[in-house]
A and B are shown apart, each in its own frame.
Chain A
Amino acid sequence: MRYTPREAFFAFRRAPLLSALSVVTIAFALYTLAVFGLVWLNIERVLDDVAQRVEVIVFLEDGTDPAESATLMSELATYPEVDSIAYVSKDDALARARGDLSEYRELYEDLEVNPLPASIEIELKPGFRRSAQVNEIAARVERFPFVEEVKYGEEWVSKLNFLQDMSLFLGLVVGGIFAAVAFVAIGATINLVLIAREDEFAIMKMVGATPGFIAQPFILEGFVKGVVGAILALVLLTATFSALEQRVLALGFYTPAQIVTGVALGGVLGAVGSILSLRRHLYGGTA
């Protein structure tokens, strides 16, 4: 075997307890981070579901020329923030009302004239459902003379926005703290490994090994520990999740792409932690 992989592998055999300690530390650090991430992801998901219901309803004056409403619809179709548009005619509106409000069925049953207006329902693309953006669209549409009224639940959209902002802020701050703690814990265990091998560094420097060469096996070792720790964290997380799922229904889990990213992140954390600690050990004393 080449020197670098052999030394990295050798480290596990030579100091199994210390290696196990650092892998477990990495696993718990990443597990805590992942649990927090999952809670946050699910909160975001719920908020997204709610946000999906944000829509703008444009009520049209009775007797509006179908050609005019068609013009409005084709203009709406060119707006980048619009996801879909649906025309609801007076008859459609009545049919819907009959279906939805079955207890008032008789009320609608023997109407001479249809009192409900025709409308255009606009659904917005994700990312364009903030209250300022919705307001802006409503204002644009209101300028058409045959538009009677535009409705979009201003009140609850801004409440929803507040919750979304809070969630993002807490996610970043608390998630950032968890990530920092994970990073420090990983760095500390890697540092322990390096302290245990101070005498090797001294000999390597004495015989003329370059810092890059000295660093290689430790960086590889840190990477492997990070990946193994991340996989261990994933196993723990899956167990926790399936236990929870039996009680609380319909929780979202990480996507396969997110899992792969997370495991790679573990490896990168291990490698970067090694590099940072190595700098202290390799350049700390006199060359």
Chain B
Amino acid sequence: MILFKNVSKEYPKTGYALRDVSFHLRRGEFVFVTGPSGAGKTTLVKLVTMEERPSAGTVRVSGFSSDRIKRREIPYLRRRLGVVFQDFRLLKNRTARENVAFSMEVIGTPREQIGLAVPRTLAAVGLASKADHLPAELSGGEQQRVAIARALVNEPFVLLADEPTGNLDERVSKDILRVCKDINLRGMAVLFVTHNRTLLDDYVGARVIELDRGALVSDTGAGDS
């Protein structure tokens, strides 16, 4: 679970990127985070990965707290998170399979386990047939699927997707969102950041957190937490 308790983030030069934000993402939940450019969406994601620390308030992520976490514990927090970005961030000189395997290798996963998990995860995002392609040989949507597979392969409890469809056209964007929804159906929480509200139209009733200039202006799923 992810818990934001009265979280503010002030950057030295630009001032407040988030102001008094509170919300609770429960186990297995799906949430959209929307808001115009500069609203603080990426900052919110960075607070979850603890790439940034709050200026006030507390961020709790799966047993780790921003108040107490030590620098050397951060890698272990990150292993519980899957992150994808607008710009894919794949390694250019490695195939889809190698890109996915890479994120297991660098945390010391045994080879046999990598050999089993990588093809299974690529199949889950619909890329089994392109496993041996380099990123340059894949479309944008396919590259984002590789990135999602890489985020999923270590079995995190939540997928954090920061504007994953920002570089993709409408149709492919919907495919990617579909992939994320499918993942959620299998029990993984998803925090899906997008400023493209038309994407939300197909998911009436989904939880939406809306940010504007650093403030949380609405949260359709805010319950007792």
Any B CB within 8 A of the CB of A93 = no
Pair A287/B74 contact, Cβ less than 8 Å: yes
Quick check: which of B17-25, B46-54, B138-146, B172-180 contacts chain A, the rest being far away?
A: B46-54
**CA separation between A248 and B125, bound complex, in Å?**
73
- Residues 183-206 of chain A: 1 if any B CB is under 8 Å from the residue's CB, otherwise 0? 000000000000000011011111
Q: What residues on A are CB-neighbors of B106 within 8 Å?
A: 3, 204, 207, 209, 213-214
- Residues 80-119 of chain B: 1 if any A CB is under 8 Å from the residue's CB, otherwise 0? 1101000001010100000000110111100000000000
- Tally A residues with Cβ within 8 Å of B: 18
Instruction: Tell me the smallest distance from the CB of A48 to a CB of chain B, in Å.
Output: 53
Any A CB within 8 A of the CB of B3 = no
Any B CB within 8 A of the CB of A286 = yes
Any B CB within 8 A of the CB of A210 = yes
**CA separation between A44 and B6, bound complex, in Å?**
73
Any B CB within 8 A of the CB of A208 = yes
Interface residues of A in 154-209 (CB under 8 A from B): 199-200, 202-209
- Residues 267-287 of chain A: 1 if any B CB is under 8 Å from the residue's CB, otherwise 0? 000000000000000000011
Any A CB within 8 A of the CB of B71 = yes
Question: With A3-B105, A207-B78, A214-B106 known to touch, is A287 a contact of B71 (CB < 8 Å)?
Answer: yes
Q: What residues on B are CB-neighbors of A287 within 8 Å?
A: 50-51, 71, 74
**CA separation between A208 and B80, bound complex, in Å?**
8
Q: Who on chain B is nearest to A14 by CB?
A: B93
**CA separation between A200 and B98, bound complex, in Å?**
13
Q: Who on chain B is nearest to A214 by CB?
A: B106
Any A CB within 8 A of the CB of B76 = yes
Any A CB within 8 A of the CB of B207 = no
**CA separation between A210 and B52, bound complex, in Å?**
18
**CA separation between A287 and B150, bound complex, in Å?**
20
Pair A207/B51 contact, Cβ less than 8 Å: no
Q: What residues on B are CB-neighbors of A199 within 8 Å?
A: 89, 91
Pair B103/A203 contact, Cβ less than 8 Å: yes
**CA separation between A202 and B72, bound complex, in Å?**
16
Instruction: Tell me the smallest distance from the CB of A127 to a CB of chain B, in Å.
Output: 50
Pair A207/B49 contact, Cβ less than 8 Å: no
In the complex, which range does the number of interface residues on chain B fall in?
Answer: 20 to 34
Instruction: Tell me the smallest distance from the CB of A206 to a CB of chain B, in Å.
Output: 6
Pair B89/A209 contact, Cβ less than 8 Å: no
Pair A203/B89 contact, Cβ less than 8 Å: yes
**Chain A's interface: helix, strand, loop or mixed, by majority?**
helix
**CA separation between A287 and B80, bound complex, in Å?**
16
Pair A208/B51 contact, Cβ less than 8 Å: no
Any A CB within 8 A of the CB of B75 = yes
**Interchain CB contact (< 8 A) of A207 among B52, B72, B107:** B107
Any A CB within 8 A of the CB of B128 = no
Q: What residues on B are CB-neighbors of A209 within 8 Å?
A: 75, 106-107
Q: What residues on A are CB-neighbors of B49 within 8 Å?
A: 206
Q: What residues on B are CB-neighbors of A206 within 8 Å?
A: 49, 78, 83, 89
Instruction: Tell me the smallest distance from the CB of A133 to a CB of chain B, in Å.
Output: 55
Instruction: Tell me the smallest distance from the CB of A202 to a CB of chain B, in Å.
Output: 7
Question: With A286-B52, A287-B71 known to touch, is A208 a contact of B89 (CB < 8 Å)?
Answer: no
Q: What residues on B are CB-neighbors of A207 within 8 Å?
A: 78-79, 103, 106-107, 150, 154
**CA separation between A211 and B93, bound complex, in Å?**
22
**Interchain CB contact (< 8 A) of B75 among A14, A200, A203, A210:** A210
Q: What residues on A are CB-neighbors of B72 within 8 Å?
A: 210
Any A CB within 8 A of the CB of B200 = no
Any A CB within 8 A of the CB of B77 = yes
Instruction: Tell me the smallest distance from the CB of A14 to a CB of chain B, in Å.
Output: 6
Instruction: Tell me the smallest distance from the CB of A75 to a CB of chain B, in Å.
Output: 66
Instruction: Tell me the smallest distance from the CB of A142 to a CB of chain B, in Å.
Output: 70
**CA separation between A213 and B109, bound complex, in Å?**
12
Pair B76/A208 contact, Cβ less than 8 Å: yes
Q: Who on chain B is nearest to A3 by CB?
A: B105
Interface residues of A in 230-250 (CB under 8 A from B): none
Pair A203/B91 contact, Cβ less than 8 Å: yes
Q: What residues on B are CB-neighbors of A213 within 8 Å?
A: 106-108
Q: What residues on A are CB-neighbors of B77 within 8 Å?
A: 208
Closest 6 CB pairs of A and B: A208-B78, A208-B79, A209-B106, A207-B103, A208-B75, A210-B75
Q: What are 13 A-to-B residue pairs whose CB atoms are below 8 Å?
A: A200-B91, A203-B103, A204-B106, A205-B78, A206-B78, A207-B78, A208-B75, A208-B78, A208-B79, A211-B75, A213-B106, A213-B108, A214-B106
Please name 5 further chain A to chain B contacts, defined as beta carbons within 8 Å, in addition to the given A200-B91, A206-B83, sorted by A numbering: A14-B93, A206-B78, A207-B78, A208-B154, A287-B74
Give me the interface of B with A, judged by CB distance under 8 Å.
Answer: 49-52, 71-72, 74-81, 83, 89, 91, 93, 102-103, 105-108, 150, 154
